Structure 1
Amino acid sequence: MKEKDNIVNLFDRLKDDFDVETPDMGHENRFLRKLQQQQNQETKDSSKPIVLFTWWKQIAAACVLLLSLGIFIGSNFGSATEDPEITLSPEIEKSQLYFASLIEKELVKVKAAENEDTKEIIDDALLQLKRLEKDYTNLKNQLTEGGDDKRILHAMVTNFQLRIDLLESVLTQIEEIKLFKNENTII
């Protein structure tokens, strides 16, 4: 009972502080319009990365299948050569060429956008790409020495994905720098 009295006293004390005025005419319509605009903007902003992510997942799955098939075929038919160069199955080489062409296209875009504002970001990305390429070479060596290890194949595909994601991230940062620079010149 004492708690009920406290609540009643609280409401009695705060009675004059409550906002009980009716909003202006059309308030609800203005609010709903603003809410709809905000939802439309969020939908536009969030739809593109989801599509790209889904697309890359499909490519990655296809490449893993190709790589696995290549290893299977390569191990069954065995191509023992005395060539010191690393030789991979034709399917693995096709996947490698496909990813390499994607990376090269993204790299051309990144290099084309280089200027004094983006130089540091691009130089850092190129350094990271060199590290990832070195890691990929090590993975290829492990694959030829160790046989068809699915973990190595997965690591190779992941390496390609990391390189592509890195370049896409750099392109996104470059676009943000351009937008920021344009906004500052307008102001």
Structure 2
Amino acid sequence: MKEKDNITNLFDRLQDDFDTETPELGHEQRFLKKLQKQQNQETTEINKPIVLFTWWKQIAAACIILLSLGIFIGSNFNTSVEETQITFSPEVEKSQIHFASLIEKELEKVKAAEDEDTKEIVQDVLQQLKRLEVAYDELKDELIEYGEDKRILQAMVKNFQLRIQLLENVLIQIEEIKIFKNEDTII
């Protein structure tokens, strides 16, 4: 009820301020013409395509994309070439060749000794060797990245020693299995 009183009071107060004049004849027609003219302009603006890129801007954008792609590919190519050109000192290469040949000989012995009784042991040692090779490759990458650091070189040598020791232990286990198998067949 109070709201109606407030609204009524508002209208009573503003009664003299309202525009009470009547528009001239033809006002509605003029208003409709202006409205229709404005709508026609809006539809032509909507139908007109918005040109953000002109042909020369499109060519410039394509050139920039191709140039940046070329730089990206070129930089990746150069780093891979640099990494393959890095050589180690003669001592590192000699020790690497020496250890690799020892590991290869021991691995051939293990594979030659593989039979039904030792198959699981041989497969297990091959998996362990793969893990050690992955670790060695990581050490090699660190050596390329940081240079010939003594700690990295020692870790690489230790990796080779672990692989050789692992193969020697497996050969001992295989021999023990064969001895045990021969004792069983004798008895």
What's the TM-score, normalizing by structure 2?
0.55
What amino acid maps onto 1:158 in structure 2? K
Q: Which amino acid aligns with 1:176?
A: E
Q: Does structure 1 residue 143 correspond to structure 2 residue 123?
A: no
Aligned residues: 107
Encode CA deviations 1:29-67: one digit per residue, 9 max, x unaligned: xxxxxxxxxxxxxxxxxxxxxxxxxxxxxxxxxxxxxxx
Shift in Å, 1:82: 4.6
Gaps of 5+ in 2: 1-79
Q: Which amino acid aligns with 2:185?
A: T
For 1:151 and 1:89, how far apart are their aligned partners in 2? 15
Pairing of 1:84-95 with structure 2 (within 5 A): 84-85=83-84, 87-95=87-95
Residue in 2 aligned with 1:99?
99
State the partner residue of 1:126: 126
Amino acid at match of 1:91: E
2-side partners of 1:116 and 1:174: how far apart? Answer: 11
Bigger radius of gyration among the two: 2
Aligned counterparts of 1:117 and 1:87: Cα–Cα separation in 2 = 44
DSSP-derived class of the 1:117 partner = coil
In structure 1, the gaps of 5 or more residues are: 1-80
| Sequence identity (%) | 71
Aligned equivalent of 2:82: 83
Aligned to 2:22: none
CA–CA distance in structure 2, aligned partners of residues 91 and 151 of structure 1: 15
2:83 and 2:153 map into 1 onto residues whose CA distance is: 21
Match of 1:172 in 2: 172
Amino acid of the residue matched to residue 165 of structure 2? D
Measured after TM superposition, the shift of residue 83 of structure 1 is: 3.0
Distance in 2, matches of 1:116 and 1:83, equals 47
Counterparts of 1:87 and 1:149, CA distance in 2: 14
Cα distance in 2 for residues equivalent to 1:169 and 1:115? 17
Deviation at 1:151, TM superposition (A): 1.0
Q: Which TM-score applies when normalising by structure 1? A: 0.55
Residue identity opposite 2:99 in structure 1: F
